[in-house]
Amino acid sequence: MQRESTQIARTVAMSSSDNTKLWGGRFTGSVDPVMMQYNESLTFDRVFYSQDIRGSIAYARANTHTGILTQHEFSEIERGLKQVQKEWENNTFEVRPEVDEDIHTANERRLGEVIGKEIAGKLHTGRSRNDQVATDMRLWLRDHLDKLEGYLVDFLRVIAARAEKEIEAVMPGYTHLQRAQPIRWSHWMLMYGSFFTSDLQRIREVKARVNRCPLGAGALAGNPFNIDCEAMAKELGFGGLIMNSMAGVADRDFVVETMQWGSMLMMHMSRWAEDLIIYSTGEFAFVQLADAYSTGSSLMPQKKNPDSLELLRGKSGRVFGQMAGLMMSVKGIPSTYNKDLQESVEPMLDHVKTVGDSLQIATGVLSTLAIRPENMLKALTPDMLATDLADYLVRKGVPFRETHHISGQVVALAEKVGKPMDKLSLEELQGVDKRFEKNVMEVFDYQKSVEMRSAKGGTSKSAVMEQIEAVKTALSGGR
297 is catalytic: yes
Q: Catalytic pick from 5, 176, 298, 476?
A: 176
Contact by Cβ (8 Å): 137, 210:
no
407 is catalytic: no
Beta bridge partners of 178: 175
Q: How far apart are CA 287 and CA 188, in angstroms?
A: 13
Report in angstroms the alpha-carbon separations of 373 from 159, 290, 376, 382: 17, 17, 5, 17
Helix (H, G, I), strand (E, B) or coil at 40: coil
For 415, other C-beta atoms within 10 Å of its C-beta total 11
* Residue-level pLDDT at 28: 57
* Residue-level pLDDT at 376: 98
H/E stretch holding 107: helix 103-115
Contact by Cβ (8 Å): 146, 349:
no
Domains of the chain listed by start with CATH number:
32-120 (1.10.275.10), 129-378 (1.20.200.10), 382-444 (1.10.40.30)
* Residue-level pLDDT at 2: 44
- Dihedral of CA 177/182/183/185: which sign? positive
Q: Catalytic pick from 17, 72, 297, 425?
A: 297
Beta bridge partners of 171: 183
* Residue-level pLDDT at 20: 54
* Residue-level pLDDT at 16: 40
Pairing of strands 170-175, 370-371: unpaired
Who's near 42: CB < 8 A, 6+ residues apart?
95, 97, 100, 101, 102, 103, 106
Cβ-in-10-Å burial (0-12, 13-18, 19+) of 8 comes to: exposed
Who's near 130: CB < 8 A, 6+ residues apart?
217, 218, 219, 220, 249, 336, 337
Q: How far apart are CA 385 and CA 452, in angstroms?
A: 12
> 3-class secondary structure for 399-460?
CHHHHHHHHHHHHHHHHHHCCCHHHCCHHHHHHHCCCCCHHHHHHCCHHHHHHHCCCCCCCC
Q: How far apart are CA 429 and CA 431, in angstroms?
A: 5
Helices 253-279, 129-165: crossing angle, 10 deg rounding? 30
Cβ-in-10-Å burial (0-12, 13-18, 19+) of 287 comes to: buried
Report in angstroms the alpha-carbon separations of 179 from 381, 410, 455: 9, 18, 22
H/E stretch holding 123: none
Helix (H, G, I), strand (E, B) or coil at 174: strand
Count of alpha carbons within 13 angstroms of residue 444, beta-carbon side = 15
Contact by Cβ (8 Å): 331, 264:
no
Helix (H, G, I), strand (E, B) or coil at 27: coil
Residue 244, sorted as left (phi over 0), alpha (psi -120 to 50) or beta, turns out to be beta
- The CA-to-CA distance between both ends of the chain, in Å, stands at 68
**pLDDT by position in tens, the chain (length 479):** 444 444 434 443 444 444 555 545 555 567 788 888 888 899 999 999 999 999 999 999 999 999 999 999 999 999 999 999 999 999 999 999 889 999 999 999 999 999 999 999 999 999 999 999 999 999 999 999 999 999 999 999 999 999 999 999 999 999 999 999 999 999 999 999 999 999 999 999 999 999 999 999 999 999 999 999 999 999 999 999 999 999 999 999 999 999 999 999 999 999 999 999 999 999 999 999 999 999 877 777 777 899 999 999 999 999 999 999 999 999 999 999 999 999 999 999 999 999 999 999 999 999 999 999 999 999 999 999 999 999 999 999 999 999 999 999 999 999 999 999 999 999 999 999 999 999 999 999 999 999 999 999 999 999 999 999 999 999 988 65
Q: How far apart are CA 263 and CA 457, in angstroms?
A: 26
* Residue-level pLDDT at 24: 54
Q: How far apart are CA 362 and CA 401, in angstroms?
A: 43
Contact by Cβ (8 Å): 393, 406:
yes
Phi, psi of 128 (to 5 degrees): -125, 155
Report in angstroms the alpha-carbon separations of 302 from 195, 226, 365, 368: 35, 72, 21, 21
Does the pTM surpass 0.85? The reply is: yes
Q: How far apart are CA 123 and CA 282, in angstroms?
A: 65
Q: How far apart are CA 101 and CA 370, in angstroms?
A: 51
Buried b (16+ CB within 10 A) or exposed e, 61-94: bbbbeeebbeeebbebbbebbeebbebbeeeebe
* Residue-level pLDDT at 254: 98
